Amino acid sequence: MPLSSLHFIFVFLPIFLVLFYILPFNTWRNSILVVASLVFFGWSDPGHLPLLIGMILLNYLFGRVIGYYLDNEKQASARPLMWVAVMVNLLVLIFYKYTGFVLQSVADIANLAIKYEAEALPLGISFFTFSGIAYILDIYNRTEKAEKNIIRFSSYLIMFPKLLQGPITRFGQIKEGLLKSKPVPNEVIEGVRRFIAGLAKKALLADPIGLGTDKIFNANFDALGAGAAWFGLIGYTLQIYLDFSGYTDMAIGLGKMIGLKLPENFNFPYISRSITDFWRRWHMTLTAWFRNYLFIPLEFARKREKFLRQQSNILIVFLLTGLWHGADWNFVIWGIYFGLILAIEASGLGKLLKKLPIFLQHFYAIALIMLGWVFFRVTAIENWGPFLKALLGGNGWTTDITLRNLNVLFYIPIAIIGVVFCLPFINKFERKVSEKGGLPRLLFDILYLVLFILSVASILANGFTAFIYAQF
């Protein structure tokens, strides 16, 4: 049950909010959230509901025992349990997400006929397993205390706003929110606005742009005109940001409605001046997870190594970042691609970039970002060459497959509007309006109402489209 589905908007969410606000708050707050999250998950994926409950119990019990040993200064006893807990989380993720990929890769290399019927991927598995690992490691590193209340812990691990696509949270980031009093009305209103903004990004921008880009990426690349190829790439660059940041906006908005402050996941990544800057702005909670739980420990463990230590650690982290996104070689190569660029920037290129004019820094970053999306979107590696050839005009501008022939000219104005929403000035303008209040704020709220109506109308007319990151 995605956040942008009509069942969620008009059935699930109203019932949840009514119960959340009318029942005794201090007693029922987290219980309602847990039950609602289990219903939310089970609505779409009932077969994996026992797995989700099992992961809750596993991480809770391991956390309690590890915390007990640490409280009694028995770190030697806590350490193996920490490793077991982390490995169990990882093995669950690996089994469901990567078994088929590994077996198929072995079969291709060894020329073997291996038949394997892959298990359906549990919804949100990459997100709730990473949240579980973060919780265990924070307890072991003594940055957090083990949570004794299983309901409160369950709220952290599986709360429905972030269950399927994040943001990836640490327990300490939302612990206070799980304890505090009822949401402040102003925060609730702000949450509604944020939710509508995310819904509009998804329904009015990302989905229509996606219809156009799908036509291009499903076409024959050997006959694809350069204009169509460039629109496809630009369109997908916009689509994936508007789609994923739209989900994040909706999740953060839902959190505000119930008094929780979820971490931001995007900071206008397409205004970056380098690839290093891009990964500080794109999917920030994933970047923070890999930095805190992999990169920094690697740096510490390999502190005696001096030759290219940082660069090799970056490559390891981004190889795994690529794998996290999907069990296929194109994601692996996509991760290595960004890892190599980041390693080069860390070796000195980053300092040189800062000496260039700002517009050249932006051009450098967006060009490499868009090239990276080719590897991400075109999943068949053998098609990379034909698509890049089309981009470079190898097939010419006037071919059998053009923007006009594919009937995607309609989507160009939508894409232009999408560009506007990739820039920060709208947010800055709204903040100024909010500070003034009065009539300008009222007009802005009327605009939000119009956007909500248009978004619902679009979903009714075109049907529901799954979020891109739901597959990860």
CA distances from 355 to 17, 238, 348 (A): 52, 28, 12
Q: What is the pLDDT of residues 251-299, one digit of tens each?
A: 999 999 998 899 999 999 999 999 999 999 999 999 999 999 998 888 8
Which of the following is catalytic: 7, 283, 325, 362? 325
* Helix 411-420 with 207-217: angle, nearest 10 deg: 120
Determine the Cα–Cα distance for residues 282 and 140; give it in Å rounded to an integer.
28
Give yes or no for residue 441 having a pLDDT over 90: no
What pLDDT score was predicted for residue 118? 63
Give yes or no for residue 180 having a pLDDT over 80: no
Q: What is the pLDDT of residues 192-236, one digit of tens each?
A: 999 999 999 999 999 999 999 999 999 888 888 888 899 999 999
- Locus of tokens 């800062």: 354
- Tell me the average pLDDT across 406-431: 86
pLDDT band at 139 (very low <50, low <70, confident <90, very high): very high
Determine the Cα–Cα distance for residues 388 and 390; give it in Å rounded to an integer.
5
Reading the block at residue 69, the tokens are 């040993």
- Locus of tokens 């068949």: 380
Q: What is the pLDDT of residues 363-385, one digit of tens each?
A: 999 999 999 999 999 999 999 99
Give yes or no for residue 92 having a pLDDT over 80: yes
Long-range (24+ apart) CB contacts under 8 A made by 329-332 are 329/105, 329/381, 330/375, 330/376, 330/378, 330/379, 330/380, 330/381, 331/376
Cα torsion 55, 59, 61, 62: sign: positive
Share of the chain above pLDDT 90, in %: 62
What pLDDT score was predicted for residue 137? 96
What pLDDT score was predicted for residue 468? 83
Mean per-residue pLDDT of the chain: 89
Give yes or no for residue 181 having a pLDDT over 70: no
Q: What is the pLDDT of residues 38-86, one digit of tens each?
A: 999 998 889 999 999 999 999 999 999 999 999 988 888 899 999 999 9
Give yes or no for residue 122 having a pLDDT over 90: no
Q: How many residues does the chain have?
A: 472
Q: What predicted TM-score, i.e. pTM, was given to this entire model? A: 0.93
What pLDDT score was predicted for residue 412? 87
The answer to whether 340 touches 308, Cβ cutoff 8 Å, is no
What pLDDT score was predicted for residue 309? 80
Neighbours of 132 (CB within 10 A): 27
Reading the block at residue 403, the tokens are 């923007």
Nearest to 254 by CA among 1, 6, 16, 11: 16
Catalytic-residue membership of 325: yes
- Tell me the average pLDDT across 309-331: 91
Reading the block at residue 199, the tokens are 């819904």
CA distances from 457 to 195, 251, 290, 460, 462 (A): 16, 21, 39, 5, 8
Determine the Cα–Cα distance for residues 269 and 277; give it in Å rounded to an integer.
8
What b-and-e string marks burial along 30-67, b requiring 16 or more CB atoms within 10 Å of the CB? bebbbebbbebbebbbeebeebbeebbebbbebbebbb
What pLDDT score was predicted for residue 426? 84
